[in-house]
Amino acid sequence: MDKILNIFLTIPAILIAFTFHEYAHAKVADMLGDNTPKFEGRLTLNPIAHIDPMGFLMILLFRFGWTKPVRTNQSAYKNYYKDDLKVSIAGICANLVVAIVFSILFGIFVRFAFNVLPESYYSVISLMISNIIAINISFAVFNLLPIPGLDGFKILEDLMPKKFNNIGEQLYKYQMLILLGIIFFGGFIISVPVNFLYDKAIKLASIVFTMF
């Protein structure tokens, strides 16, 4: 029963992580002069616009998944590489900001709700908030991996010499195979940074707790 409840409470966390990640990509691209995301309906906080069904299922089951990518037109940017880099890192930054905000809210919630709410309500809300923090951190770290289809690879393309693009084109042919390999076998790759950042988030919540 607890496992089913945890899966159920993970759904809001996934929706929040996916939505803010892709909205950030779309918003920054729009601010830099590319109106493609706006025309395609991606400049919205409606989760339905950003969800890839298979990616949603994967993150629900394995904590690693993907969204429907925001399509952009880099030719609309004034500075191709700098502006594309800004768009690429926007989603990761958004997830980290969401994790920080909910860490602060977690500290406030624990401070004022612990002796007020019934234990069952308190436990459910605490689990939901901690899931939001954990999923957003996991999604940010996962997207930093330099793998075709993820933001980390786009960041490398923007920072590395142009000849790297030739290598990238070859890797893109195997991006789904690589992604599935990471999802099923690569948990240990990101577990260390995810656990480190989650620990820092809980410490932030503890600091906020002591401020009231």
Identify the three-state secondary structure at position 204. Answer: helix
Rounded CA separation 194/142 (Å):
9
**Active-site residue 119, yes or no?**
no
So where are the chain's domains?
Answer: 2-210
Classify residue 211 as exposed, middle or buried by CB count within 10 Å of its CB (0-12, 13-18, 19+): exposed
Which segments within 62-208 are labelled E, that is strand? none
d(CA 170, CA 172): 5
Q: How far from 202 is each of 134, 144, 172, 205, CA to CA, in Å?
A: 10, 22, 37, 5
pLDDT of 18-59, one tens digit each? 999 999 999 999 999 999 999 999 999 999 999 888 888 877
pLDDT in tens, 161-191: 666 666 666 666 676 777 677 766 667 778 8
What is the tens place of the pLDDT at every residue in 62-97? 766 778 889 999 889 998 889 999 999 999 999 999
Catalytic residue among 22, 119, 157, 169: 22
- Residue 63's region, left for phi above 0, alpha for psi from -120 to 50, else beta, is left
